[in-house]
Structure 1
Amino acid sequence: MLDVLTQKIHDEARQGEAYTPFINDPAQYHKKFYIESYGCQMNFSDSEIVASILQNAGFGATRNVAEADLVLLNTCSIREKAEQTVRKRLTEFRKIKQAKPGLLVGILGCMAERLKSKLLEEEHLVDLVVGPDAYRSLPGLVEEAEGGQKAVNVLLSREETYADISPVRLNSNGVSGFVSIMRGCNNMCTFCVVPFTRGRERSRDAFSIVRECQDLFDRGYKEVTLLGQNVDSYYFTPETGDSSLGKATVVVTFALLLEMVAKISPLLRVRFSTSHPKDITDDVLHVITRYENICKYIHLPVQSGSSRILQMMNRTYTREWYMAKINRIREIIPNCGISSDIIAGFCTETEQDHQDTLSLMEYSGYDLSYMFFYSERPGTLAQRRYKDDVPEAVKKRRLQEIVDLQNRLSKESNKKDQGKTFEVLIEGDSKKSEQDWMGRTSQNKVIVFSKSGNAYKKGDYVKVKVTDCTKATLLGEII
């Protein structure tokens, strides 16, 4: 039955309306918009949805803020620093607006939903405040703001997934594309503001996901990254109306969705982010091993190595349980790259808790980590329940120890790859030299190698042998 469903979804993806590529011809548009994105990959994906909505309303994109009629900041509320960055940018836009009185400035995303009308009160140059589930209303809100009214829509939705909107690929390299498969989060980690700014979890229908991935591949893209706050809890029940599927209810889990996307073509690489340790299943791990084009890389945030702190964070697993999950990944996918998120200095964290985090990092042998010290976010469960009692100096010192350890682990991991050969997807020029290519291995490691003596181009797959490394990058040569 699952094979029938899979084939049906692929057939409908091919028969569906094609996604039209974004052509920014100034003659097509009577106004221009400029957008900046902050925070997670989901925000950057949302900006592509916003661009599509605005394009249909007659706005063309520009990379020059000075020529824009509408300036948008797609914001993040996960840490205080991100909000401070946005406020700083607003003060810079004030000068532009003074020179161009008709310019509209809007705040989108998580910060817009969290602060709502407060933004309009404190930041007088802000004309629009639009939450993550209200982007369809942007054209109407722009008209409202053009009439001199402050425009706000931050209503959350239990249904909105933007499944029917074909994203405009902003600043794309033409090789890799992001595809959102779900929105919101149900986990209620005590430190996190996402459930309050993005609402409850809902999965996008599998037909539209496969269709978007198929379209990207047809347009020359070689890699897609499936995005969600917690991709492993993806859950979709198709309304097929097809007697060939029988009367039984067929559920598309994340493992099945991953397989459907992988079957588009063996030349289309598939990545995904982010996984919650409690939800990633053996089915997902086995699908990863079964398909060569599903990358052997899992981002598995731990946040803390202390069971006591994990309980306070409402992560729903212990230190030992997480270590067992690492063991299971290594057992089923021996060559899997693993990265993590780590928070230093959460409420009541002791030196022993901190040491537990360091030892768990050693045990897991992360290739890469995203590391931060705890930043209390208003409205979260932690802010209401716990005192933020670890001094900032202690937080920073512990964070530095975590960073130092991860730098060592990353260097050790990269050294193990010396002498090995990997299939690499060329993503473009190296940041440091146009004489070198840059790509990534299946394990998500960046590798740089010389262009000389070969006729490869961006988007090609090449075999590269690792000859040297730094803590952040592999260095190699094409063979």
Structure 2
Amino acid sequence: MEKTIDETKQGESLVLEHKPENNKKLFIESYGCAMNFSDSEVVASILSNQGYNTTTILEEADLVLVNTCSIRDKAEQTVRKRLEKYNAVKRQKNPKMKVGVLGCMAERLKSQFLEQEKIVDLVVGPDAYKDLPNLLAEVEEGREAINVILSKEETYGDISPVRLMSNGITAFVSITRGCDNMCTFCVVPFTRGRERSREPNSILDEIKDLESKGFKEVTLLGQNVDSYLWYGGGLKKDYVNASEMQKATAVNFDQLLEMVAVTFPKMRIRFSTSNPQDMHESVLHIIAKHANICNHIHLPVQSGSDRILAAMNRLHTRAEYMELIKNIRRILPDAAITQDMITGFPTETEQDHQDTLDLMEYVKYNFGYMYSYSERPGTLAGRKMEDDVPETTKARRLQEIVDLQQKHSLIRTQEFVNQTVEVLIEKVSKKSHQEFSGRNSQNITVVFPKENYKIGDFVNVKITSCTSATLRGEAVGYSDMN
């Protein structure tokens, strides 16, 4: 599984519509990938029905929750610092405050948080959010509460997430939970459980609700969206035991993607994240067929070296990945391709590193999320492999990867200069209140003068200049999506 972490959103606190009848205050912060932020919306929905309104003022909260990530050591250290802060506020200003940990760290460090360090009142794993009312009742009676049981069934398909209303234009819709890919560097199969898919009609119902509220774009979200498979419920690995009727009526990812695109022709559709071994040509043809499915594929590779890919237990080879890139370019010539990359994995040599740089030259990605390897407790790599690449070597290799990506990103944005692209206006530009900011189909930020347009409009923009990350231009009229 890949986790793309948006650094600009780390530690964001959720603010929801105020319900006058609610008299308790919830402060909830999220760290990690989009899945964690989506889960926080599910939690807020459950707690809204339990009498909680959200607050951004930590000191006044009755309940403080942090939704956590275990994918990188940096994320864990950040969360630990936040827990120290919560407890300092609890001691000094608000002794009745309850503190809880949600998500991936909760599952992994449950006994440490509750019993050894005694820094939290409750610990709730990713599949146990519906149990929050019971767990809070336990805490109110002075007992510590914990539920980190991983489910074979839970997808939260029956929970309508409360949305962060500051944007109101784009939203994540979860379609799968868990992961079956046992990459040796990753904790997700152990913290989020095995893979299961959500019932298609519940997905369509959620998107219909979003459309009625004025949302214009949804991202179908999962640890591994391309392996989506609904056959009546249960784990994907148990599909082999499904009945003939279940198999005959099963829905896979390309079928779901087409259902969404056809049902909501005036909404933009994105999806993330894809795993190379599960992305089939049929999905590419669905994207090509429907104008409202965005021309952007996030396709993590992690390394360009076959030897390192094998050590990572990635289920693709360099040649298979390059063949997939070739098919994407053939079927979707205008598609943006983005990557996740880990450098400095155990035993990585200079030749392995060079193989990665060579692969980057072959693909010329539009953008990437690039990290140096950090050992995660509980993973196979953490248990069986020595972290033997010096930190200075990791830092140098990472810088070389970042520098090359910057060069390629500029090449890719320059391709749009003098072209007209469709942009969904999402917000006012950070740098100028006279300009709007949105993204094109390829997920590249586009900035242009406001004129008479408004947030939520689909606008055609003629691109006049660019940086490696942003396109600039002028609106030339509404697009057909309005």
Same fold (TM over 0.5): yes
Matched, 1:307 2:290: no
1:28-427 mapped onto 2 (5 Å cutoff): 28-98=21-91, 99-238=93-232, 249-427=248-426
Mean Cα deviation higher: 170-179 or 155-164: 170-179
Post-superposition offset of 1:161? 0.5
- Aligned partner of 2:416: which letter? D
Instruction: Give 2:480's aligned residue.
Output: none
Question: In percent, how many aligned pairs have the same letter?
Answer: 61
Q: What CA distance in whole angstroms lies between the structure 1 residues aligned with 2:395 and 2:36?
A: 27
Query: Take 1:288 and 1:100, find their aligned partners in 2: how far apart are those partners?
Result: 52
Deviation at 1:23, TM superposition (A): 6.8
Q: Measure how far apart 1:370 and its partner are.
A: 0.2
CA deviation string 1:274-303 (max 9, x = no partner): 000000011100000000000000000000
Query: Displacement of 1:26 after TM fit?
Result: 4.7
Task: From the superposition, tell whether residues 248 and 94 of structure 1 become closer, same or farther in structure 2 (CA, over 3 Å).
Answer: closer
In structure 2, C-alpha distance between the alignment counterparts of 1:446 and 1:344, rounded to whole Å: 27
* Structure 2 CA distance for partners of 1:102 and 1:310, relative to 1, 3 Å: same
RMSD, aligned α-carbons: 1.4
Q: How far did residue 266 of structure 1 move?
A: 2.0
Q: Does 1:464 align with 2:461?
A: yes
Give the 3-state SS of the residue equivalent to 2:446 in structure 1: strand
Q: Secondary structure at the match of 1:305?
A: coil
CA gap of 1:359–1:150, structure 2 versus 1, over 3 A, is: same
Alpha-carbon separation, structure 1, partners of 2:41 and 2:213: 16
Aligned to 1:9: none
CA distance, structure 1, for counterparts of residue 433 and residue 247 of structure 2:
56
**Any gaps of 5 or more consecutive residues in structure 2?**
1-14, 234-244, 477-482
Find the aligned partners of 2:88 and 2:382 in 1 and give their Cα distance: 36
How far the C-alpha of 1:263 sits from its partner, in A, is: 1.4
Q: Letter of the aligned partner of 1:174 in structure 2?
A: G
Contact kept, 8 Å, 2:177 with 2:222, in 1: the verdict is yes
1:356-391, Cα deviation, whole Å (9 max, x unpaired): 101101111100000000011111111122111101
How far 1:122 moved relative to its partner?
Answer: 4.7
Q: SS in structure 2 opposite 1:108?
A: strand
SS state of the match for residue 459, structure 2?
A: strand
CA distance in 1, matches of 2:23, 2:386: 52
Name the TM-score, length of structure 1 as normaliser: 0.92
**Deviation for aligned residue 1:68:** 1.2
Q: For 1:326 and 1:471, how far apart are their aligned partners in 2?
A: 21
| Aligned-pair CA distance for 1:28 | 1.5
Whole-Å separation in 2 of the counterparts to 1:26 and 1:280: 43
Contact 2:232 2:246 in 1 (8 A): no
Q: Which amino acid aligns with 2:82?
A: R
Opposite residue 295 of structure 1, the aligned amino acid is: C
The verdict on how the C-alpha distance between 1:365 and 1:248 changes in structure 2, with shifts beyond 3 A counting, is: closer
1:55-93 residue CA offsets vs partner (Å, 9 max, x unmatched):
111111122222211011000000000000000111111
- Give the letter for the 1:307 counterpart: D
CA distance in 2, matches of 1:129, 1:23: 23
Aligned partner of residue 28 in structure 1, secondary structure: coil
Change (3 A) 1:76 1:248: closer
SS at match of 2:277: coil
Secondary structure at 2:278 match in 1: coil
TM-score (norm 2): 0.91
Amino acid at match of 1:249: A
Contact 2:184 2:312 in 1 (8 A): yes
Q: Which amino acid aligns with 1:136?
A: K
- Separation in 1 of the partners of 2:447 and 2:200? 35
Once the 2 structures are TM-superposed, how far is the Cα of residue 138 of structure 1 from its aligned partner?
Answer: 0.8
What is the deviation of 1:171?
A: 4.7
Residue identity opposite 1:279 in structure 2: D
> Per-residue displacement from partner, 1:103-130 (whole Å, max 9, x unpaired)?
0111100000011111124543311111
Partner residue, 1:17: none
Amino acid across the alignment from 2:163? R
CA distance in 1, matches of 2:16, 2:445: 30
> For structure 1, which runs of at least 5 residues remain unmatched after alignment?
1-21, 240-245
Deviation at 1:249, TM superposition (A): 1.8
Aligned residue-pair number:
450
Moved more, 375-384 or 299-308: 375-384
Residue type of the partner of 1:28? E
Q: C-alpha displacement at 1:393, in angstroms?
A: 1.0
Equivalent in the alignment of 1:8: none
Aligned to 1:473: 470
Deviations for 1:317-357, whole angstroms, at most 9, x for unmatched residues? 11111111100100010000100000010010000000110
**Secondary structure, in 3 states, of the residue corresponding to 1:263?**
helix
Task: Find the residue that maps to 2:160 and give its secondary structure.
Answer: coil
For 2:151 and 2:179, the matched residues in 1 are separated by: 12
The 2-side partners of 1:371 and 1:178 are apart by: 23
Shift of 1:211: 0.7
The 1:248/1:91 distance shift into structure 2, 3 A limit, reads closer
Distance in 2 (CA, whole Å) between partners of 1:469 and 1:387 is 43
Q: Distance in 1 between matches of 2:116 and 2:167?
A: 37
